[in-house]
Structure 1
Amino acid sequence: MIRFLRYSLLITLVSLGACQEVLEPKPVTLLVDELVLNEPNDVQPVRIGLYSAFRGMASPNIIAGDFTADYIQANGTFTDNIEFGTKRITATNGAVDALWGSIYNTIYVANFILERLPSVPNVTEATRKQVTAEARFLRGWANFIGAYTFGDIPKVTSTNQVANTTITRSAKADILASVLADYQAALTDLPNVTSASTNATTNAAYINKINCQAAMARFYLYQKNWTQAEQLATVVISSGVYSLQTNYSDVVTKDFTNESIIEVGYNLTDDPGTGAYSLNNLLVGRREVIPSNQLVSSLLSVESGTRSATITFNAQQQRGNDNGWTVRKYGTASEDNNNIVLIRLAEMYLIRAEARAQQGKLTGASGAIADLNVLRTRAKAPAITAAAQADVLLAVERERVYELAFEGHRWYDLVRTGRAQAVMSAFSPNWNSRFELWPIPQREIQQNTALTQNPGY
């Protein structure tokens, strides 16, 4: 059964810092089963609901990308986190259920907009096009995460809950084809941003053409379409809308930097520092999981440079199995780093470097090594000197660890590059190839007999 929030959902727009250019209406309570979209004044609250649902995916998506892989070790008492730390993931894991539910909440609201908005009278054509494009993009984003996390998933294209509660799984390839179709359709009508002069918060918080192209660059990388991945990453890099922070530590300690391409923001009332799957609560407050010793060694290496700012050490916490290290990227409501960054400019350099390396473009101003060295220069790390293609590709993998640690990429990277079994079996004796996909939540299997489970669960 695909769950669609059959209860009153309080939807509030993110405060997005102190910026007054971002819309900040009063909280609106919506019944998701009875979303209201009958007149122009209804459009904005439902649009806010769409972004709110999208935000719900962020934390469990980071957990999938980093907790499943070799970045963490268990340090607490919660069963869900022990499963990730010991690599004994089950279909009853709460984070698995949370990600599945947030994916389909987003898809539901997007489908509602796509079904209802065309018939709402007196909505300006510009508004209709933009909100429709945002719905197409965010539905595509949700399906992309779903396909690469769970494999074959239900392809939900309507709000018919009777039909959706008995829907079967569609092939991953079919889901990904729909993702590309949604991205391409969205790209046509999303607003254009031509320079960095527009507020950085708005550029990252709301979907525009450039950050849609960034998501498409990631899509093509995962698809091994190296030409398109390189081309779109170059478009984003060359646009001038986003720029690398001078100091890497700003990526860790600040929200809505000029480097942030897509970022979900929170305010004092819905800060991710609270809740069962909040990153600050898990990584800092309760320390349910801590950076693995292996990751700590990588981030403290000369090759990482200033990327060691991702973690911090406290000798007073070093006892028993606790190595004393903590992730710094996710703060509390009173700190300036409580948001979750989903795409930033550094990833575009890494995408382009990998795509170029795969095409044999290794050296020179338009080579993979040059892209890697842009990030290494920023991090005050030694330049890459690798020469062979295989060595450059391994350098890309390591650079993604240094640069993107705890931003939700590692597990997806290992699986898509075919490196998961080699890396993870060396990391944990409990690793099994079944963990290259998350299980379908057991509750979904029980409620919808048309769903089948992934192998091994």
Structure 2
Amino acid sequence: MKKISCYILLVASLATTSCKKFLNEINPNFTTPDSYFKNQNDFDLAVNGAYSQLRGLYNNKSAWIMGEMRSDNTHYDYKSSDQAVATVNRYAVADFLDDKYNNQTPPKWNSGFNTISAVNVILDHIDDIQLSASARNAIIGQAKFIRALTYFDLVRFYGGVPIYKHAPLNREETYIPRASAQEVYDLIVSDATDAAAKLDAPAFPQTGRATKGAALTLLGDVYLTLKKYDQAESVLKQVTAMGYTLFQHYGDAFQLNNKNGKESVFEIQFNTALAVPQANTNASVYNFLPRMANTSVVTGINFNSITNTGGFNTPTQDLINAYETGDQRLDASIAVAEGSFNASDDFTATAVKSVIGYTPPAGKVGRPFPKKFLHTHTIGNQTNDNWPVYRYAEVLLLLAESLHQQGKSGEALVYLNTVRQRAFGDALHDISTTDQAALQAAILKERRVELAFENKRWLDLVRSGKAISVMTDFGAQQKAQYSYLQAGSYNITQNRLLFPIPNAEILLNDKLTQNPGY
């Protein structure tokens, strides 16, 4: 008993005299950024996490709602009985009736800053351990490419946004005002330039990670947006010497066995073979199909796309008409689900038909859908398609535009017609005009049909200064065709060229200001 009593007294004494020491012990099961990075593998895993955040930025619903449905490329299947908040808000974005309370555009903002946060943690801790020069460059290069790509997306949709060069550690660092658009572009150029200097040139087959070619392509796109055409030309010409090339046929660029192939400059990775397939799969094509109780006729898989899934990003007749006769991209990009709508505006498909020259037979309706992302899969709403961010075809079109804008139209035609020759299978459809306005219009049109459904069209209309005129004319056609459109729809003003800052963000951060008109 005496021995036990002495032990109890000893423990009590230690607890009293060494309380501070015990309270300062680090819980080995609790990881912080300061304690996480112990070796290169930890950084590699963190970079993988940053890549995964890009899925939300480039492939969530807000990406195609804002990038395609906002434009003349796609519309939606109106369902009078479905007035759910999400559905109505998607309609509103397409019809230019969205406001700061819209719940379909904030995911882009949220995904963007989640991505930036993931990158900043990596960059803030890159010097925590000793890394080889090559490993350090690869990590920093990829992180800065991701951050530049993310800010480039945000600034074009929202204008100036808060700039975070480091992960905020307190309230004051978190709740900061918007930077100017120019300040955001300055950071983008700096990050993309550093990424290009640190990353290796692509090696084929590629791994899906950012390369020097991806960073230079991004930089060229940024310079073109800023109207720095000579600088765009300089960096894009470097990309043309890196071994990229076009596949023989347009549709080959989207085949599953060609992921990260010779035409890929950068794409968002999806892989149904991973341990948690739902988090690593691309379900976009199911959003683009009609609302169907059974998608088997179209996808080969029985899936119900009626509830909050199908009926969106429907190719418009205006887009279909933009393809010239003989352009093989039309059949590779769009197909027609043939069938009928019932009284509830849900669709039953009986066949899939070619869009070329399609006329529905009596008693049937043909509903077009983006075909380029539909490939064999085994589970409904889970496909293995990657999402293209930059393809080599776009490099050629960016270069053609940068040359043309400098008065080098003859040279521009070489790059433009390289893309067209793949599309038509010959040189008989080459463009020859060097007229300033005509060639610029031809390049913009070529981008439309080459990059359809890749979330480029709305940004192209804004960048080219054509958004108001093109969408006003398109809106008039839409309102003449669809009686469900409201009188105030397609009222496109200068303010509508940017989207509203999510209202929830302004309520959280009183230093944020709203875009004009919202």
8 Å contact 1:144–1:176 — kept in the other structure? yes
1:96/1:441 contact within 8 Å kept: yes
Matched residue SS, 1:346: helix
Partner SS state of residue 266, structure 2? strand
- Residue from 262, 268, 289 that aligns with 2:266: 262
Q: 1:283 and 2:288 equivalent? A: yes
Indicate the residue corresponding to 2:353 in structure 1: none
Structure 1: 4+ residue segments shifted above 4 A: 29-35, 270-275, 317-323
What is the 5 A alignment of 1:236-385?
236-240=239-243, 242-254=244-256, 255-268=259-272, 269-270=276-277, 278-284=283-289, 285=305, 286-299=310-323, 301-302=324-325, 304-316=327-339, 324-331=367-374, 334=377, 338-363=385-410, 367-380=411-424, 382-385=429-432
Deviation at 1:323, TM superposition (A): 5.1
Match of 2:139 in 1: 131
Q: Could you tell me which residue of structure 1 aligns to residue 126 of structure 2?
A: 117
Q: Does the CA contact (< 8 Å) of 1:272 and 1:279 recur in 2?
A: no
Give the aligned residue type for 2:67.
G
Which 10-residue stretch deviates more, 313-322 or 410-419? Answer: 313-322
* Displacement after TM superposition at 1:164 (Å): 4.1
What residue ranges of structure 2 are gaps of 5+ in the alignment?
Answer: 1-28, 290-304, 347-364, 477-488
Conserved 8 A contact 2:205-2:260: yes
How many aligned residue pairs are there? Answer: 415
SS in 1 for 2:424: coil
Moved more, 410-419 or 231-240: 231-240
1:296 Cα offset (Å): 1.8
How many Å apart are 1:271 and its aligned residue?
Answer: 5.5
Contact 2:216 2:235 in 1 (8 A): yes
SS of the equivalent of 1:134 reads helix
Residues 65 and 409 of structure 1 are in contact (CA less than 8 Å); yes or no, is this contact kept in structure 2?
Answer: yes
2:49 is matched by which residue type in structure 1?
G
1:75 Cα deviation after fit: 1.1
The reply on whether 1:414 has 2:461 as its aligned counterpart is yes
- 1:252–1:310 contact (8 Å) kept in structure 2: no
| Offset, 1:423 | 0.4
TM-score, normalized by length of structure 2? 0.74
Of 425-434 and 385-394, more deviation after overlay is shown by 425-434
Instruction: Write the distance in 2 (CA, Å) between the matches of 1:57 and 1:333.
Output: 25
State whether residues 121 and 166 of structure 2, in contact with CA within 8 Å, keep that contact through their aligned partners in structure 1: yes
Q: Would the aligned equivalents of 2:64 and 2:313 in 1 still touch at CA under 8 Å?
A: no
Where 1:324 maps in the other structure, the secondary structure is strand
Q: Aligned partners of 2:512, 2:31: CA distance in 1, in Å?
A: 27
Q: C-alpha displacement at 1:306, in angstroms?
A: 3.2
**Counterpart residue number, 1:74:** 76
How big is the alpha-carbon RMSD for the aligned residues of Structure 1 and Structure 2?
Answer: 2.6
Letter in 1 for 2:179: S
Quick one: distance in 1 between partners of 2:30 and 2:48?
11
Q: 1:383 to 1:151 in 2, by over 3 A?
A: same
Distance in 2 separating the partners of 1:394 and 1:30: 58
Deviation at residue 213 of structure 1 after TM alignment:
0.8
C-alpha offsets along residues 302-341 of structure 1, whole Å, 9 cap, x if unaligned? Answer: 2744344111012215787975100013237828861100
Residue 231 of structure 1 corresponds to which residue in structure 2? 234
Letter in 1 for 2:312: E
The aligned amino acid for 2:190 is: A
Counterparts of 1:282 and 1:31, CA distance in 2:
38
- The alpha-carbon deviation at position 74 of structure 1 amounts to 1.9
What one-letter code is carried by the residue in structure 2 that aligns with 1:327? P
Pair 1:42 & 2:46 matched: no
Identity in percent? 27
Structure-2 separation of matches of 1:270 and 1:435: 38
1:30 Cα offset (Å): 11
Partner of 2:206: 201
Residues 80 and 338 (structure 1), Cα distance of their counterparts in 2 relative to 1, 3 Å cut: farther
Is the CA contact (8 Å cut-off) linking 2:260 and 2:266 kept in structure 1?
no
Comparing 405-414 with 76-85, greater Cα deviation is found at 76-85
Report if the CA contact (8 A) 2:339-2:366 is conserved: no
Q: Secondary structure at the match of 1:107?
A: helix
Q: Distance in 2 between matches of 1:129 and 1:252?
A: 31
Taking the aligned partners of 1:30 and 1:199, their CA distance within structure 2 comes to: 41
What is aligned with 1:447? 508
1:138 to partner: Cα distance: 1.1
Correspondence list, 1:156-167, <5 A: 156-161=164-169, 162-167=171-176
1:252–1:337: 8 Å Cα contact kept in structure 2?
Answer: no
Question: What is the letter of the counterpart of residue 267 of structure 2?
Answer: E
Letter of the 1:134 partner, please give it. Q
- For residues 262 and 226 of structure 2, the distance between their equivalents in structure 1, rounded to whole angstroms, comes to 28
Q: Would the aligned equivalents of 1:272 and 1:280 in 2 still touch at CA under 8 Å?
A: no
Taking structure 1 as the reference length, the TM-score comes to: 0.84
Structure number with the bigger relative contact order (C-alpha 8 A, sep ≥ 6) is 1
Q: Per-residue CA shift, 1:48-86, capped at 9, x if unaligned? A: 111111232111434422122111112154123212332
- What are the Cα deviations for residues 208-232 of structure 1, in whole angstroms up to 9, with x where unaligned? 1121111111111111111111222
Supply the AA of the counterpart residue of 1:71: N
Tell me the equivalent position of 1:438.
499
- Aligned CA distance change for structure 1 residues 316 and 46 (closer, same or farther; 3 Å): same
Structure-2 change in CA distance of 1:270 and 1:452 (3 Å):
farther
Which residue of structure 1 aligns with residue 52 of structure 2? 52
**8 Å contact kept, 1:260–1:341:** yes
Change (3 A) 1:413 1:307: same
CA offset digits 1:84-126 (Å, max 9, x no partner):
3322222233331111011111111111111112122x43332
